């Protein structure tokens, strides 16, 4: 590629990367030297601090974001025959959690400007069997929680907000974690803060909270055998079928240390997104991600939507050219029902045309707090050069 040959990077710039410092390392090592590697004091502290940060009453730490979604579906009472409405433009876990409970994922198409689940499409998919809605805060911009909650209330449905992308984001002055009955987070290294792996469910509801604590540890409630404890102190009772979804104290200590830096992480993400917005809106060869008024994204991902009618190359060609330049571009996401497993369940292509169109044209650009100015310049320069080289001249 002529324009960029002289600037090529020798190292690959990934689309996401964790930011771990010496304090994080010390926090984990301190736990290793302590008495508790799991089920210890760091778990409760992490839950309390996360609940405070997200303005929720309760938090339940679990092993992964996927386990958080499963735990939330269990607490919501999803069972075989139930339908749950979710977005197709997400990671498979947002729908898999419904299948884990024997429920049926129903995909409602996305809004063409925000790319979040379209409340009108949700309403159209509601049947007598619908039990819950799982909106996904795609790329970090909260879904339209006010409209979604209004629909849910009218039809007596629970809302489980998949906030794997939106920790720290706000919608109309409310923090993510304070809006839905259940909100799930992920602490995968690509996300805002990391525990290696980890997840959490937030809620204000005491009953849901207790169900989730039981589900996370095999369905056992501590003290549930208390009537016999004096005579038979070894007793504990498994009341329901749960899982071992516990987070370790090593993970919680890392999460606590990372949480101290959340504000600077998010402001750096916003700074980079603003720079991309400025550059690419002027270029007019891609659509930049539209933000609803009143929504304050925490920018997990930055995606561009190619204006293919103005370009002579397709998405695949442009994507591969960017990869050759050592840019770790990606595509988030393949519509969930395109996956062979979902195709075998009977979902057909054509189900959600807006999501399918976005999928054909989107490219995820690198975005993470540790990116230095030189990295951001590189993304801006290379993407601009590659797009310009591919302008269609009629």
Ligand X SMILES: *Cc1c(COP(=O)(O)O)cnc(C)c1O
Which residue lies nearer to ligand X by CB, 90 or 321? 90
Q: Which residue is nearest to ligand X (CB)?
A: 65
**Residues 92-131, interacting with ligand X (CB under 6 A):** 93-94
Q: Using an 8 Å Cβ cutoff, are 80 and 102 in contact?
A: yes
Q: Which stretch binds ligand X (CB under 6 A): 29-37, 45-53, 59-67, 338-346?
A: 59-67
Q: Which stretch binds ligand X (CB under 6 A): 8-16, 63-71, 276-284, 337-345?
A: 63-71
- Interaction between residue 136 and ligand X (CB under 6 A): yes
CA atoms within 13 A on the CB side of 224: 11
CA torsion 303-148-100-250 (nearest 10°) is 60
Which residue lies nearer to ligand X by CB, 119 or 199? 199
Which residue lies nearer to ligand X by CB, 262 or 308? 262
C-alpha to C-alpha distance for 106 and 11, rounded to whole angstroms: 42
Q: Min. distance of Cβ 382 from ligand X in angstroms?
A: 25
**Residues 224-283, interacting with ligand X (CB under 6 A):** none
CA atoms within 13 A on the CB side of 14: 9
* DSSP H helices in the chain: 22-32, 41-54, 65-75, 93-100, 119-125, 145-155, 206-216, 249-259, 262-283, 315-324, 340-344, 353-361, 373-389
Of the residues 104, 131, 149, 191, which is catalytic?
191
| Angle between helix 315-324 and helix 373-389 axes, rounded to 10 deg | 140
Rg (CA), the chain: 22
Local structure of 289: helix, strand or coil:
coil
Which residue lies nearer to ligand X by CB, 64 or 321? 64
Count Cβ atoms below 10 Å from residue 261 Cβ, excluding itself: 17
Which residue lies nearer to ligand X by CB, 89 or 286? 89
Q: Min. distance of Cβ 86 from ligand X in angstroms?
A: 10
Among 4, 71, 86, 90, binds ligand X (CB under 6 A): 90
C-alpha to C-alpha distance for 246 and 105, rounded to whole angstroms: 26
Which residue lies nearer to ligand X by CB, 71 or 296? 71
- Interaction between residue 64 and ligand X (CB under 6 A): yes
Fill in the per-residue mask, 191 to 230: x = in contact with ligand X (CB under 6 A), - = not in contact. ------x-x-------------------------------
Q: Using an 8 Å Cβ cutoff, are 201 and 59 in contact?
A: yes
# residues contacting ligand X (CB under 6 A): 15
Q: Give long-range contacts, CB 8 A cutoff, 24+ apart: 314-323.
A: 315/360, 315/361, 315/362, 315/363, 317/390, 318/363, 318/386, 318/387, 318/390, 319/363, 321/1, 321/386, 322/363, 322/382, 322/383, 322/386
Fill in the per-residue mask, 156 to 195: x = in contact with ligand X (CB under 6 A), - = not in contact. ------x-xx--------------------x-x-------
Mark whether 191 is an active-site residue.
yes
- Interaction between residue 91 and ligand X (CB under 6 A): yes
Which residue lies nearer to ligand X by CB, 255 or 386? 255
Among 4, 16, 24, 65, binds ligand X (CB under 6 A): 65
C-alpha to C-alpha distance for 105 and 198, rounded to whole angstroms: 24
Q: Which stretch binds ligand X (CB under 6 A): 89-97, 235-243, 256-264, 304-312?
A: 89-97
Which residues contact ligand X by CB under 6 A? 64-66, 90-91, 93-94, 136, 162, 164-165, 186, 188, 197, 199
Instruction: List active site positions.
Output: 191
């Amino acid at each position: 590629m002529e324009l960029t040959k002289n600037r090529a990077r020798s190292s690959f710039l990934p689309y996401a990367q964790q930011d771990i410092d010496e304090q994080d390392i010390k926090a984990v090592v301190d736990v290793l030297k302590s008495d508790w590697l799991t089920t210890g004091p760091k778990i409760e502290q992490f839950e309390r601090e996360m609940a405070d940060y997200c303005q929720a009453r309760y938090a339940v730490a679990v092993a992964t974001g996927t386990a958080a979604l499963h735990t939330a579906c269990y607490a919501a009472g999803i069972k075989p025959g139930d339908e749950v409405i979710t977005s197709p433009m997400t990671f498979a876990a947002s729908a898999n959690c419904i299948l884990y409970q024997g429920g049926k994922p129903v995909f409602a198409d996305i809004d063409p400007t925000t790319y979040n689940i379209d409340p009108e499409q949700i309403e159209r998919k509601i049947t007598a069997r619908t039990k819950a809605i799982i909106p996904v805060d795609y790329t970090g911009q909260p879904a339209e929680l006010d409209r979604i909650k209004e629909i849910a209330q009218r039809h007596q449905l629970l809302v489980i907000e998949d906030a794997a992308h939106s920790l720290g984001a706000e919608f109309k002055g409310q923090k993510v974690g304070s809006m839905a009955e259940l909100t799930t987070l992920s602490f995968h290294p690509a996300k805002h803060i990391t525990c290696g792996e980890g997840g959490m469910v937030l809620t204000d509801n005491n009953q849901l909270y207790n169900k989730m604590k039981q589900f996370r540890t095999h369905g056992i409630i501590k003290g549930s055998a208390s009537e016999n404890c004096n005579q038979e102190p070894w007793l504990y009772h498994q009341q329901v079928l749960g899982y071992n979804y516990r987070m370790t104290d090593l993970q919680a200590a890392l999460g606590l240390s990372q949480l101290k830096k959340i504000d600077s992480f998010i402001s750096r993400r916003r700074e980079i997104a603003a720079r991309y917005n400025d550059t690419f809106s002027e270029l007019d060869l891609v659509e930049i991600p539209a933000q609803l008024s009143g929504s304050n994204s925490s920018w997990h991902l930055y995606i561009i939507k190619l204006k293919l009618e103005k370009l002579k190359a397709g998405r695949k060609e442009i994507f591969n050219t960017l990869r050759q330049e050592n840019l770790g571009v990606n595509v988030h996401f393949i519509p969930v029902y395109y996956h062979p497993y979902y195709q075998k369940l009977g979902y057909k292509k054509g189900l959600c045309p807006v999501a399918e169109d976005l999928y054909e044209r989107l490219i995820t650009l690198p975005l993470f707090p540790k990116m230095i100015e030189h990295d951001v310049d590189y993304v801006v320069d290379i993407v601009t050069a590659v797009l310009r080289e591919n302008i269609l001249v009629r």
